[in-house]
Amino acid sequence: MLLRATFVLSTILGLSGCATPQTLPDTANIQPGERPDITTDEAGLWMASEDVERRLAASGRVLTDPEINAYVKEIICRLSPEYCADVRVYIVRTPHFNASMYPSGFMQVWTGLILRAENEAQLAYVLGHELGHYFRRHSIQQWRTVRDTASAMTFFSIATAMAGVGYVGDIGALVAMGALMSYSREFEREADDVGFEMMSKAGYSPDEAPKIWQALLQERDASGDPNQLIFFATHPSTEERIDTLKGLATAVPASARGVDVGAERHAKITHPYLSEWLRDDLRNRKLAGSEIMLKRLIENRGERPELQYFLGELYRIRGDEGDAQHAVEAYTTALGQKGAPAEAYRSLGLVHWREGHTAEARAAFEAYLRAAPKASDYAMVKSYLDQL
Ligand SMILES: [Zn+2]
Protein backbone atom coordinates (compact mmCIF):
# COMPACT_ATOMS: atom_id res chain seq x y z
CA MET A 1 0.00 0.00 0.00
CA LEU A 2 2.76 2.41 0.97
CA LEU A 3 4.73 1.52 -2.14
CA ARG A 4 1.68 2.12 -4.27
CA ALA A 5 0.95 5.41 -2.53
CA THR A 6 4.52 6.56 -2.94
CA PHE A 7 4.39 5.65 -6.60
CA VAL A 8 1.17 7.55 -7.07
CA LEU A 9 2.60 10.57 -5.33
CA SER A 10 5.83 10.55 -7.27
CA THR A 11 4.00 10.05 -10.55
CA ILE A 12 1.79 13.04 -9.89
CA LEU A 13 4.72 15.11 -8.78
CA GLY A 14 6.64 14.07 -11.85
CA LEU A 15 9.34 12.50 -9.68
CA SER A 16 9.32 9.09 -11.28
CA GLY A 17 12.89 9.65 -12.39
CA CYS A 18 12.77 7.64 -15.58
CA ALA A 19 11.04 9.55 -18.32
CA THR A 20 10.16 13.18 -18.64
CA PRO A 21 6.41 13.25 -18.10
CA GLN A 22 4.55 13.67 -21.34
CA THR A 23 1.90 16.29 -21.51
CA LEU A 24 -1.24 16.09 -23.57
CA PRO A 25 -2.62 19.07 -25.41
CA ASP A 26 -4.77 20.83 -22.82
CA THR A 27 -7.75 21.22 -25.05
CA ALA A 28 -8.07 17.64 -26.35
CA ASN A 29 -11.29 16.00 -25.27
CA ILE A 30 -10.92 12.69 -23.53
CA GLN A 31 -11.88 9.93 -25.94
CA PRO A 32 -14.26 7.07 -25.13
CA GLY A 33 -12.31 4.22 -23.54
CA GLU A 34 -9.15 6.32 -23.25
CA ARG A 35 -6.66 5.86 -20.41
CA PRO A 36 -3.69 8.20 -20.10
CA ASP A 37 -0.23 6.82 -20.75
CA ILE A 38 1.37 5.50 -17.56
CA THR A 39 4.31 7.90 -17.79
CA THR A 40 2.15 11.03 -17.68
CA ASP A 41 1.16 13.16 -14.72
CA GLU A 42 -2.40 12.56 -15.85
CA ALA A 43 -1.97 8.82 -15.15
CA GLY A 44 -0.84 9.73 -11.62
CA LEU A 45 -3.93 11.83 -11.16
CA TRP A 46 -6.07 8.95 -12.37
CA MET A 47 -4.47 6.59 -9.84
CA ALA A 48 -5.08 9.03 -7.00
CA SER A 49 -8.63 9.40 -8.21
CA GLU A 50 -9.06 5.62 -8.29
CA ASP A 51 -7.84 5.44 -4.68
CA VAL A 52 -10.50 7.96 -3.68
CA GLU A 53 -13.08 5.91 -5.57
CA ARG A 54 -12.15 2.70 -3.74
CA ARG A 55 -12.41 4.42 -0.37
CA LEU A 56 -15.72 6.00 -1.23
CA ALA A 57 -17.10 2.65 -2.43
CA ALA A 58 -16.14 1.10 0.94
CA SER A 59 -17.32 4.06 3.03
CA GLY A 60 -20.85 2.81 3.70
CA ARG A 61 -22.25 6.15 2.54
CA VAL A 62 -23.06 5.05 -1.00
CA LEU A 63 -26.62 4.13 -1.96
CA THR A 64 -26.69 0.62 -3.37
CA ASP A 65 -30.36 0.32 -4.40
CA PRO A 66 -30.43 -0.67 -8.07
CA GLU A 67 -33.41 1.47 -9.05
CA ILE A 68 -32.04 4.89 -8.17
CA ASN A 69 -28.57 3.95 -9.44
CA ALA A 70 -30.07 2.86 -12.75
CA TYR A 71 -32.03 6.11 -12.93
CA VAL A 72 -28.96 8.34 -12.60
CA LYS A 73 -26.84 6.13 -14.86
CA GLU A 74 -29.53 6.12 -17.54
CA ILE A 75 -29.55 9.92 -17.57
CA ILE A 76 -25.78 9.92 -18.04
CA CYS A 77 -26.00 7.41 -20.88
CA ARG A 78 -28.79 9.38 -22.51
CA LEU A 79 -26.66 12.53 -22.30
CA SER A 80 -23.53 10.85 -23.67
CA PRO A 81 -24.07 7.33 -25.07
CA GLU A 82 -20.47 7.10 -26.27
CA TYR A 83 -19.06 7.57 -22.75
CA CYS A 84 -21.72 5.49 -21.00
CA ALA A 85 -19.33 2.61 -20.28
CA ASP A 86 -16.56 4.91 -18.97
CA VAL A 87 -18.51 6.79 -16.30
CA ARG A 88 -19.21 5.29 -12.87
CA VAL A 89 -21.70 6.97 -10.58
CA TYR A 90 -21.81 6.88 -6.78
CA ILE A 91 -24.84 8.33 -5.06
CA VAL A 92 -23.62 9.50 -1.67
CA ARG A 93 -25.97 10.02 1.26
CA THR A 94 -25.20 13.51 2.44
CA PRO A 95 -27.60 16.45 2.77
CA HIS A 96 -25.58 18.97 0.78
CA PHE A 97 -26.11 19.99 -2.81
CA ASN A 98 -23.11 18.78 -4.71
CA ALA A 99 -21.80 16.62 -7.51
CA SER A 100 -18.23 16.16 -8.59
CA MET A 101 -16.51 14.45 -11.45
CA TYR A 102 -13.14 12.84 -11.03
CA PRO A 103 -10.56 12.58 -13.81
CA SER A 104 -10.75 8.79 -14.07
CA GLY A 105 -14.46 8.85 -14.90
CA PHE A 106 -16.07 8.41 -11.51
CA MET A 107 -18.72 10.79 -10.37
CA GLN A 108 -20.16 11.51 -6.95
CA VAL A 109 -23.74 12.72 -6.81
CA TRP A 110 -24.95 13.74 -3.37
CA THR A 111 -28.47 13.06 -2.21
CA GLY A 112 -28.94 16.73 -1.25
CA LEU A 113 -28.66 17.52 -4.94
CA ILE A 114 -31.10 14.83 -6.09
CA LEU A 115 -33.56 16.00 -3.44
CA ARG A 116 -33.36 19.58 -4.68
CA ALA A 117 -33.70 18.86 -8.40
CA GLU A 118 -37.34 19.46 -9.23
CA ASN A 119 -37.27 17.04 -12.12
CA GLU A 120 -35.13 14.81 -14.30
CA ALA A 121 -34.25 17.62 -16.73
CA GLN A 122 -32.69 19.71 -13.94
CA LEU A 123 -30.71 16.74 -12.68
CA ALA A 124 -29.63 15.98 -16.26
CA TYR A 125 -28.34 19.50 -16.63
CA VAL A 126 -26.12 19.23 -13.52
CA LEU A 127 -24.89 15.77 -14.53
CA GLY A 128 -24.11 17.15 -17.98
CA HIS A 129 -22.16 19.99 -16.38
CA GLU A 130 -20.06 17.47 -14.45
CA LEU A 131 -19.54 15.37 -17.58
CA GLY A 132 -18.31 18.55 -19.23
CA HIS A 133 -15.47 18.73 -16.69
CA TYR A 134 -14.58 15.14 -17.58
CA PHE A 135 -14.70 15.45 -21.38
CA ARG A 136 -12.66 18.62 -21.32
CA ARG A 137 -10.06 17.17 -18.90
CA HIS A 138 -10.45 20.07 -16.48
CA SER A 139 -8.90 18.17 -13.55
CA ILE A 140 -5.54 17.69 -15.15
CA GLN A 141 -5.48 21.25 -16.44
CA GLN A 142 -6.38 22.47 -12.96
CA TRP A 143 -3.79 20.18 -11.43
CA ARG A 144 -1.04 21.61 -13.60
CA THR A 145 -2.08 25.13 -12.65
CA VAL A 146 -2.05 24.26 -8.94
CA ARG A 147 1.30 22.54 -9.31
CA ASP A 148 2.80 25.53 -11.05
CA THR A 149 1.34 28.26 -8.89
CA ALA A 150 0.54 26.97 -5.38
CA SER A 151 3.01 27.31 -2.58
CA ALA A 152 5.11 24.24 -1.97
CA MET A 153 3.28 23.59 1.30
CA THR A 154 -0.17 23.70 -0.27
CA PHE A 155 0.92 21.59 -3.15
CA PHE A 156 2.53 18.94 -0.99
CA SER A 157 -0.40 18.78 1.37
CA ILE A 158 -2.79 18.29 -1.52
CA ALA A 159 -0.58 15.74 -3.19
CA THR A 160 0.02 13.87 0.06
CA ALA A 161 -3.65 13.82 0.92
CA MET A 162 -4.51 12.60 -2.54
CA ALA A 163 -2.02 9.81 -2.36
CA GLY A 164 -3.41 8.80 1.01
CA VAL A 165 -0.02 8.86 2.70
CA GLY A 166 0.59 9.46 6.37
CA TYR A 167 -1.63 11.43 8.65
CA VAL A 168 -4.56 12.17 6.37
CA GLY A 169 -7.60 9.97 6.27
CA ASP A 170 -10.31 9.48 3.71
CA ILE A 171 -11.86 12.86 4.29
CA GLY A 172 -8.51 14.51 3.71
CA ALA A 173 -8.24 12.84 0.34
CA LEU A 174 -11.78 13.77 -0.61
CA VAL A 175 -11.24 17.37 0.43
CA ALA A 176 -7.95 17.53 -1.41
CA MET A 177 -9.54 16.18 -4.55
CA GLY A 178 -12.32 18.70 -4.02
CA ALA A 179 -9.77 21.53 -3.87
CA LEU A 180 -8.55 20.40 -7.24
CA MET A 181 -12.07 20.62 -8.53
CA SER A 182 -12.59 24.17 -7.51
CA TYR A 183 -12.48 25.21 -11.11
CA SER A 184 -11.81 28.55 -12.69
CA ARG A 185 -14.65 30.58 -14.13
CA GLU A 186 -13.52 29.66 -17.60
CA PHE A 187 -13.82 25.93 -16.85
CA GLU A 188 -17.19 26.46 -15.18
CA ARG A 189 -18.47 28.30 -18.24
CA GLU A 190 -17.20 25.55 -20.49
CA ALA A 191 -18.83 22.84 -18.35
CA ASP A 192 -22.07 24.84 -18.35
CA ASP A 193 -21.98 25.05 -22.14
CA VAL A 194 -21.27 21.33 -22.53
CA GLY A 195 -23.93 20.39 -19.97
CA PHE A 196 -26.50 22.63 -21.57
CA GLU A 197 -25.80 21.33 -25.06
CA MET A 198 -25.98 17.72 -23.94
CA MET A 199 -29.24 18.03 -22.04
CA SER A 200 -30.77 20.02 -24.85
CA LYS A 201 -29.69 17.52 -27.52
CA ALA A 202 -30.95 14.63 -25.40
CA GLY A 203 -34.46 16.07 -25.63
CA TYR A 204 -34.78 17.65 -22.19
CA SER A 205 -36.47 21.03 -21.94
CA PRO A 206 -33.66 23.63 -22.06
CA ASP A 207 -35.66 26.00 -19.85
CA GLU A 208 -35.00 23.74 -16.85
CA ALA A 209 -31.23 24.35 -16.83
CA PRO A 210 -31.21 27.78 -15.16
CA LYS A 211 -33.97 26.88 -12.71
CA ILE A 212 -31.87 24.68 -10.48
CA TRP A 213 -29.30 27.45 -10.02
CA GLN A 214 -32.09 29.93 -9.29
CA ALA A 215 -33.47 27.67 -6.60
CA LEU A 216 -30.04 27.34 -5.04
CA LEU A 217 -29.57 31.10 -5.03
CA GLN A 218 -32.86 31.52 -3.19
CA GLU A 219 -31.70 29.07 -0.54
CA ARG A 220 -28.39 30.84 -0.21
CA ASP A 221 -30.02 34.25 0.08
CA ALA A 222 -32.47 33.01 2.71
CA SER A 223 -29.64 31.68 4.81
CA GLY A 224 -27.63 34.89 4.57
CA ASP A 225 -24.54 32.71 4.48
CA PRO A 226 -22.80 32.53 1.09
CA ASN A 227 -20.97 29.39 2.13
CA GLN A 228 -24.04 27.56 3.29
CA LEU A 229 -24.08 25.41 0.22
CA ILE A 230 -20.81 23.67 -0.46
CA PHE A 231 -21.58 23.94 -4.13
CA PHE A 232 -21.01 27.70 -4.15
CA ALA A 233 -17.51 27.24 -2.86
CA THR A 234 -16.61 25.38 -6.02
CA HIS A 235 -19.06 26.87 -8.51
CA PRO A 236 -18.77 30.66 -8.41
CA SER A 237 -20.77 33.52 -9.94
CA THR A 238 -24.12 31.84 -10.19
CA GLU A 239 -26.09 34.97 -11.11
CA GLU A 240 -24.05 35.34 -14.25
CA ARG A 241 -24.53 31.68 -15.09
CA ILE A 242 -28.29 31.92 -14.71
CA ASP A 243 -28.37 34.77 -17.23
CA THR A 244 -26.13 32.89 -19.65
CA LEU A 245 -28.25 29.74 -19.42
CA LYS A 246 -31.46 31.68 -19.87
CA GLY A 247 -29.96 33.22 -23.02
CA LEU A 248 -28.90 29.82 -24.32
CA ALA A 249 -32.35 28.38 -23.62
CA THR A 250 -34.07 31.21 -25.45
CA ALA A 251 -31.77 30.75 -28.43
CA VAL A 252 -32.72 27.09 -28.99
CA PRO A 253 -34.93 27.08 -32.11
CA ALA A 254 -38.45 25.74 -31.71
CA SER A 255 -37.71 22.86 -34.08
CA ALA A 256 -34.86 21.61 -31.85
CA ARG A 257 -36.49 22.34 -28.51
CA GLY A 258 -36.82 19.33 -26.23
CA VAL A 259 -39.93 19.08 -24.11
CA ASP A 260 -39.01 16.30 -21.70
CA VAL A 261 -39.02 17.52 -18.10
CA GLY A 262 -39.46 14.19 -16.32
CA ALA A 263 -41.06 15.62 -13.18
CA GLU A 264 -43.19 12.56 -12.48
CA ARG A 265 -40.37 10.11 -13.14
CA HIS A 266 -38.08 12.02 -10.81
CA ALA A 267 -40.71 12.23 -8.08
CA LYS A 268 -41.51 8.52 -8.37
CA ILE A 269 -37.89 7.31 -8.21
CA THR A 270 -36.97 9.60 -5.31
CA HIS A 271 -40.15 9.13 -3.31
CA PRO A 272 -38.92 6.12 -1.26
CA TYR A 273 -36.01 8.27 0.01
CA LEU A 274 -37.92 11.45 0.65
CA SER A 275 -38.32 11.06 4.42
CA GLU A 276 -34.74 9.93 4.97
CA TRP A 277 -33.28 12.78 2.93
CA LEU A 278 -35.50 15.40 4.51
CA ARG A 279 -34.56 14.14 7.97
CA ASP A 280 -30.88 14.41 6.97
CA ASP A 281 -31.50 17.92 5.71
CA LEU A 282 -33.12 19.12 8.95
CA ARG A 283 -30.30 17.57 10.99
CA ASN A 284 -28.01 19.83 9.04
CA ARG A 285 -29.66 22.77 10.88
CA LYS A 286 -29.75 25.18 7.95
CA LEU A 287 -33.39 25.82 8.58
CA ALA A 288 -33.93 29.04 6.62
CA GLY A 289 -32.65 27.35 3.46
CA SER A 290 -34.57 24.15 4.23
CA GLU A 291 -37.80 26.13 4.56
CA ILE A 292 -37.33 27.58 1.07
CA MET A 293 -36.48 24.15 -0.32
CA LEU A 294 -39.49 22.45 1.32
CA LYS A 295 -41.93 25.10 0.12
CA ARG A 296 -40.55 24.78 -3.40
CA LEU A 297 -40.94 20.99 -3.33
CA ILE A 298 -44.49 21.32 -1.99
CA GLU A 299 -45.25 23.68 -4.85
CA ASN A 300 -43.96 21.41 -7.58
CA ARG A 301 -44.59 17.91 -6.24
CA GLY A 302 -48.16 18.37 -5.13
CA GLU A 303 -49.64 16.29 -2.34
CA ARG A 304 -46.80 14.60 -0.50
CA PRO A 305 -47.63 14.30 3.19
CA GLU A 306 -43.94 13.75 4.00
CA LEU A 307 -43.17 17.26 2.78
CA GLN A 308 -45.81 18.82 5.02
CA TYR A 309 -44.72 16.67 7.96
CA PHE A 310 -41.09 17.79 7.66
CA LEU A 311 -42.14 21.41 7.17
CA GLY A 312 -43.96 21.00 10.49
CA GLU A 313 -40.84 19.48 12.01
CA LEU A 314 -38.81 22.45 10.81
CA TYR A 315 -41.15 24.90 12.54
CA ARG A 316 -41.29 22.78 15.68
CA ILE A 317 -37.48 22.57 15.88
CA ARG A 318 -36.97 26.26 15.12
CA GLY A 319 -39.55 27.54 17.58
CA ASP A 320 -39.52 31.19 16.47
CA GLU A 321 -42.52 33.39 17.02
CA GLY A 322 -45.47 32.04 15.05
CA ASP A 323 -43.73 28.74 14.35
CA ALA A 324 -45.98 26.72 16.69
CA GLN A 325 -49.01 27.77 14.67
CA HIS A 326 -47.22 27.08 11.38
CA ALA A 327 -46.22 23.65 12.66
CA VAL A 328 -49.79 22.81 13.65
CA GLU A 329 -51.00 23.86 10.20
CA ALA A 330 -48.36 21.79 8.41
CA TYR A 331 -49.04 18.64 10.52
CA THR A 332 -52.78 19.08 10.03
CA THR A 333 -52.31 19.40 6.27
CA ALA A 334 -50.08 16.31 6.25
CA LEU A 335 -52.63 14.31 8.24
CA GLY A 336 -55.33 15.30 5.76
CA GLN A 337 -53.36 13.68 2.94
CA LYS A 338 -53.23 10.03 2.01
CA GLY A 339 -50.32 8.09 3.50
CA ALA A 340 -49.40 10.65 6.15
CA PRO A 341 -46.73 9.45 8.59
CA ALA A 342 -48.14 8.57 12.03
CA GLU A 343 -45.36 10.66 13.54
CA ALA A 344 -47.28 13.75 12.45
CA TYR A 345 -49.77 12.98 15.27
CA ARG A 346 -46.96 12.65 17.81
CA SER A 347 -45.31 15.91 16.74
CA LEU A 348 -48.67 17.67 16.71
CA GLY A 349 -49.17 16.47 20.28
CA LEU A 350 -45.76 17.80 21.31
CA VAL A 351 -46.42 21.25 19.88
CA HIS A 352 -49.83 21.49 21.53
CA TRP A 353 -48.34 20.30 24.82
CA ARG A 354 -45.63 22.96 24.67
CA GLU A 355 -48.28 25.59 23.94
CA GLY A 356 -50.38 24.45 26.89
CA HIS A 357 -53.23 23.10 24.72
CA THR A 358 -53.81 20.03 26.85
CA ALA A 359 -56.97 18.69 25.22
CA GLU A 360 -55.49 18.96 21.69
CA ALA A 361 -52.24 17.38 22.86
CA ARG A 362 -54.13 14.47 24.41
CA ALA A 363 -56.18 13.90 21.25
CA ALA A 364 -53.06 13.94 19.06
CA PHE A 365 -51.09 11.52 21.30
CA GLU A 366 -54.06 9.15 21.44
CA ALA A 367 -54.34 9.27 17.66
CA TYR A 368 -50.64 8.46 17.42
CA LEU A 369 -50.97 5.41 19.68
CA ARG A 370 -53.91 4.17 17.60
CA ALA A 371 -52.07 4.75 14.33
CA ALA A 372 -48.73 3.25 15.46
CA PRO A 373 -49.45 0.54 18.05
CA LYS A 374 -46.08 -1.09 17.39
CA ALA A 375 -43.96 2.07 17.50
CA SER A 376 -40.76 1.81 19.54
CA ASP A 377 -41.75 4.96 21.45
CA TYR A 378 -45.27 3.70 22.24
CA ALA A 379 -44.61 3.46 25.98
CA MET A 380 -42.98 6.89 26.05
CA VAL A 381 -45.89 8.61 24.31
CA LYS A 382 -48.28 6.76 26.64
CA SER A 383 -46.36 8.25 29.54
CA TYR A 384 -46.92 11.73 28.04
CA LEU A 385 -50.64 11.10 28.39
CA ASP A 386 -50.16 10.33 32.10
CA GLN A 387 -48.28 13.61 32.54
CA LEU A 388 -50.87 15.75 30.79
ZN1 LIG B 1 -18.39 22.69 -12.19
Asked if the structure places residue 289 within a domain, the reply is: no
Q: What is the C-alpha separation between 120 and 214, in angstroms, rounded?
A: 16
The answer to whether residues 178 and 41 belong to one domain is yes
Q: Distance from the CA of 71 to the center of ligand 1, in angstroms?
A: 21
**Exposed/middle/buried for 276, CB within 10 Å: 0-12, 13-18, 19+?**
middle
pLDDT of residue 162: 57
Per-residue model confidence as pLDDT tens digits over 176-211: 566 666 677 788 889 999 999 999 999 999 999 999
CA 383 to chain centre: 40
Q: In the beta sheet, which residues pair with residue 99? A: 109
Q: How many structural domains does the chain have?
A: 2
Asked if the structure places residue 344 within a domain, the reply is: yes
**Exposed/middle/buried for 169, CB within 10 Å: 0-12, 13-18, 19+?**
exposed
Asked if the structure places residue 202 within a domain, the reply is: yes
Cβ contact 224:289 at 8 Å = no
pLDDT of residue 23: 44
Instruction: Please choose, from the candidates 133, 159, 214, 154, the residue with its C-alpha nearest in 3D space to the C-alpha of residue 7.
Output: 159
Q: Could you list which residues have their CB under 5 Å from ion ligand 1?
A: 191
Q: Distance from the CA of 302 to the center of ligand 1, in angstroms?
A: 31
Q: Distance from the CA of 13 to the center of ligand 1, in angstroms?
A: 25
Q: What is the C-alpha separation between 138 and 264, in angstroms, rounded?
A: 34
Q: Distance from the CA of 234 to the center of ligand 1, in angstroms?
A: 7
The answer to whether residues 38 and 156 belong to one domain is yes
pTM of the model: 0.85
Per-residue model confidence as pLDDT tens digits over 292-327: 999 999 998 878 999 999 999 999 999 999 999 999
In CATH, what number is assigned to the domain containing residue 307?
1.25.40.10
Full domain range(s) for residue 212: 2-256
Q: Distance from the CA of 188 to the center of ligand 1, in angstroms?
A: 5
pLDDT of residue 221: 84
